[in-house]
Amino acid sequence: MGEFDLIRDFFAQQQLSRQDVVLGIGDDAAILDVHPGAELITTSDLLVEGVHFPQSTSAYDVGYKSLAVNLSDMAAMGAEPAWFLLSISLPEASESWLRNFCEGLFSLASECTVQLVGGDTVRGPLAVGVTMMGWAPQSQAIRRSGARPGDGVYVTGVLGDAGLALAGIQNEVWLPQDIQMLLLITLNRPVPRVQEGIKLRGLATSAIDISDGLVSDLGHICAESNVGAEVELSLIPLSESYMEFAMPVFGYDKAVSHGDDYELCFTVPEEKEVQFTGLYKEFSVPVTRIGAITEVRDIRWIQEDGNRATFSKGHDHFPDE
């Protein structure tokens, strides 16, 4: 199978076709009909085997996750995702691997109505880069920089399950097999909070997706907004599995420092919190208020006894030597 057969037989086989794709895969570049009055919003994430996912990860999950992490960035901007490019480096042209990869990729793509419009295919160590494009009405995308003192700090879903799953794989903690299996699904198939992100437009003053852990990601919101935050640890939403298996070993550490959960963290101004409480009941995921933005420019993690806790930052590819 040559490079062009591979593109034709796999990547050009998505069942979905959007009306705003004037020209998709097959030419030197794609042509997209950008909505008048909208701002184009783009993001790119690269997943490398052995760095972002263990070698044992299934092709389906690699396909799913490489798209999911980019959709999650779109969600954090309040953007509506539309099109994506796929740059892939493959050690070999294995048909069964490619079939499963495309199944994972295209099942999520269909769910979110996003179309693959081009990319690049090369031979090399397994790495998958997705560039996602979407849009939001002018000036309505949600940035990291808008948080103000007094705003409530919220997160979607539960935190720490992805970190617990990885700890299980790496034998840092014992997990019953059925729990390990369920947690692995959470780790490999994060649900991008796209619809929630869109609903937060005009309400949230800032938002980020939790890819590197709350310590790091809420840290980005605070740094960009020139504010601090106070978070009540006991309010952080945790799963039953986390409470039972992670809490005795790691405390809150996996929930706030690990990341990979791809939930949203965002801030809502005090005067809109009542309106927001009505709105988030319609979300397909629970939303929890975990603290508030402060003028003091550091993040205080408050324990149940009222004392402060400290945590390490999440993963950094280029930590200070």
Minimum CB separation of residue 24 from Mg ion in Å reads 15
The closest alpha carbon to 200, from 262, 273, 133, belongs to 273
Residue closer to Mg ion by CB (options 75, 117) is 117
One of 58, 121, 140, 288 touching ligand ADP (CB under 6 A): 121
Supply 180's token pair.
Answer: 């390990």
Considering the rule CB under 6 A, would residue 200 count as an interface residue with ligand ADP? no
Binding mask 15-54 for ligand ADP (x = CB under 6 A): ----------xxxx--------------------------
> Nearest 10 degrees: CA dihedral of 103, 209, 57, 91?
80
Considering the rule CB under 6 A, would residue 233 count as an interface residue with ligand ADP? no
Residue closer to ligand ADP by CB (options 28, 321) is 28
CA distance 129 to 185: 21
Partner whose binding site includes residue 195, from Mg ion, ligand ADP, none (CB under 5 to 8 Å by kind): none
DSSP H or E segment with residue 156: strand 152-156
Question: Among 5-13, 116-124, 198-206, 257-265, which window interacts with Mg ion (CB under 5 A)?
Answer: 116-124
Partner whose binding site includes residue 259, from ligand ADP, Mg ion, none (CB under 5 to 8 Å by kind): none
HSE value, Cβ hemisphere, 13 Å, CA-based, for 227: 23
Partner whose binding site includes residue 183, from ligand ADP, Mg ion, none (CB under 5 to 8 Å by kind): none
Supply 301's token pair.
Answer: 């993690």
Considering the rule CB under 6 A, would residue 116 count as an interface residue with ligand ADP? yes
Considering the rule CB under 6 A, would residue 304 count as an interface residue with ligand ADP? no
Considering the rule CB under 6 A, would residue 11 count as an interface residue with ligand ADP? yes
Minimum CB separation of residue 91 from ligand ADP in Å reads 15
> Nearest 10 degrees: CA dihedral of 218, 219, 225, 231?
50
Sign of CA dihedral 201, 297, 192, 281: negative
The closest alpha carbon to 261, from 320, 208, 319, 200, belongs to 208
Partner whose binding site includes residue 204, from ligand ADP, Mg ion, none (CB under 5 to 8 Å by kind): none
One of 20, 120, 244, 295 touching Mg ion (CB under 5 A): 120
The closest alpha carbon to 123, from 96, 86, 163, 90, belongs to 90
Residue closer to ligand ADP by CB (options 11, 276) is 11
CA distance 68 to 211: 11
Considering the rule CB under 6 A, would residue 120 count as an interface residue with ligand ADP? yes
* Coil vs helix vs strand at 92: coil
Partner whose binding site includes residue 129, from Mg ion, ligand ADP, none (CB under 5 to 8 Å by kind): none
Q: Which residues of 188-213 are buried (b: 16+ CB within 10 A; e: fewer)?
A: bbbbbbbebbbbbbebbbbbbbbbbb
> Nearest 10 degrees: CA dihedral of 215, 221, 223, 224?
160
Considering the rule CB under 5 A, would residue 270 count as an interface residue with Mg ion? no
Partner whose binding site includes residue 119, from ligand ADP, Mg ion, none (CB under 5 to 8 Å by kind): ligand ADP
> Nearest 10 degrees: CA dihedral of 199, 203, 209, 210?
-120
Q: Which residues of the chain form contacts with ligand ADP (CB under 6 A)?
A: 7, 11, 25-28, 86, 88, 116, 118-121
Q: Which residues of the chain form contacts with Mg ion (CB under 5 A)?
A: 120
